[in-house]
Amino acid sequence: MSIAKKIAESSCRSSWIREMFEEGAKLSQIHGCDNVFDFSIGNPNLEPPEEFQRILEELVADRTPGRHGYMSNAGYPETRVAVAAYLSEDQGVDLTGSHVVMTVGAGGALNVILKAVLDPGDEVIVPVPYFVEYASYIDNHGGSLRPVGCTADFDLDLEAIEAAIGPQTKAVLINSPHNPTGRVYTAEMLGALGDLLRRKSEEQGCIIYLISDEPYRRIVYDGLKVPAVMAAYENSLIASSYSKELSLSGERIGYAAANPAIPHINAMMDALIMTNRILGFVNAPALMQRAIARLQGVSVDISPYQRNRDVLYQALTEAGFEVYKPQGAFYMFPKAPIADDVAFCREAQQHLVLVVPGSGFGAPGYFRMAYCVAPQVVDGAIPALKQMGAKYFKK
């Protein structure tokens, strides 16, 4: 058997979420599903909205010839126009369909963007903690991930970003609402980041792109609205998807959008369309493109996530855990009570609570809980959280 060394290594590194998920499946067989509390994976437990089901049924019944054939690599024009119209309003910047490429999820969009902008040896600055796949996505296209610290409450640390910028910097990659912390960056913070990248791009004589990974954009709590990255910085690109907001993660539908103010925007769009093709995606799934064209602005009812966030946050803090209250997404990232986060996750597993070590996100000493689960899972885990809290925090 001969497997590329890099792939063999990275499958060891990035397997925490999957490993915990598999453990959960095994434990469920032994103890019964109702007795295992699995917070390992960010797979939405809510069903897609009823409207999606209705539209899908209509689309499936449509026998117009050519519905299942190849199309332009960028996607159906009407889908791109619908996404652009939504984004124009959301971002406060005028986009047309020509600024959007439909992709195979946000993961596909990130790969399309990174392949379009990276030369070998380029660096992409990423605040820690981060979604584990970023390292592989950047490496896929010859770049390297340059991790930078964040503030104690998981906000961007602009000084750290500035210190990391050098001639090798091609982009800064941010994610808001954030996996794994639930942090949402403010408009002021994005504006300040935009100012920094503008100044540094000028100093260095080449553009530093801001890539914003936003699959959780519509999953925010307490009436918050996620500020617009395109309004904050002209050289910005968005990678997003309907995986989380419409609970369509298995359908693999998303998009890459570029700020019309990017110099040579037409060349950028040509590059994104080409990378979508040559990465082997060819185009995003046809049926889903036709569905989401009619579902702009629709999302699942997130009140069950909000309920889980509130109950879990209260339980963790009452048990003594230090944890940032998430403003969006469906993850919580508490500090582990011992330095060895992997050992702590193993201990939680003994209590049949499946959580993922912060090491899997570049941040040892923490653990992640994905609360896109049934309310019984949250409620059922509370006694174990209290027990662990009593062991470590109560004198």
Which part of the chain contacts ligand PLP (CB under 6 A), choosing from 19-27, 55-63, 101-109, 298-306? 101-109
Q: Find the binder of ligand PLP among 44, 75, 97, 254 (CB under 6 A).
A: 254
Structure tokens at 278: 């040559």
Degrees (nearest 5) of the Cα angle 232, 237, 240? 110
Closest approach, Cβ 254 to ligand PLP, in A, equals 5
Give the rounded distance of the alpha carbon of 168 from its chain centre: 25
* Candidate list 79, 243, 247, 327; residue touching ligand PLP; CB under 6 A: 243
Nearer to ligand PLP (CB atom), residue 91 or residue 175: 175
Smallest separation (angstroms) from ligand PLP to the CB of 271? 20
Q: Does 111 contact ligand PLP by CB under 6 A?
A: no
Count of positions on this chain that bind ligand PLP (CB under 6 A): 13
When binding is defined by CB under 6 A, the residue of 36, 106, 302, 356 that contacts ligand PLP is 106
Residue showing the smallest CB distance to ligand PLP in the complex: 105
- Measured over the CA atoms of residue 380, residue 385, residue 391 and residue 395, the dihedral's sign is negative
Cβ 221 to ligand PLP shortest distance, Å: 17
Report the C-alpha gap between 369 and 312 in whole angstroms: 9
Tell which one of 40, 91, 175, 359 touches ligand PLP (CB under 6 A).
175
Work out how close the CB of 215 gets to ligand PLP at its nearest, in angstroms, rounded to a whole number.
Answer: 5
Judged by CB under 6 A, the residue of 16, 131, 154, 366 near ligand PLP is 131
CA distance 361 to 359: 5
> Which stretch, 7-15, 62-70, 100-108, 282-290, contacts ligand PLP (CB under 6 A)?
100-108
Is residue 42 part of the contact set for ligand PLP (CB under 6 A)? yes
Residue 241 lies near ligand PLP (rule: CB under 6 A): yes
Q: Min. distance of Cβ 393 from ligand PLP in angstroms?
A: 30
107 makes contact with ligand PLP (CB under 6 A):
yes
Question: Which position among 249, 283, 327, 359 is part of the footprint of ligand PLP (CB under 6 A)?
Answer: 249
245 binds ligand PLP (CB under 6 A): no
Largest Cα separation within the chain, whole Å, is 72
Residue 265 beta carbon to ligand PLP: minimum distance, rounded to whole angstroms: 24
CB within 8 Å of 172: residues ≥ 6 apart? 124, 125, 126, 161, 193, 197, 208, 209, 210, 211
Residue 9 and residue 357: Cα distance in Å, rounded? 18
Which residues bind to ligand PLP, rule: CB under 6 A? 42, 105-107, 131, 175, 179, 213, 215, 241, 243, 249, 254
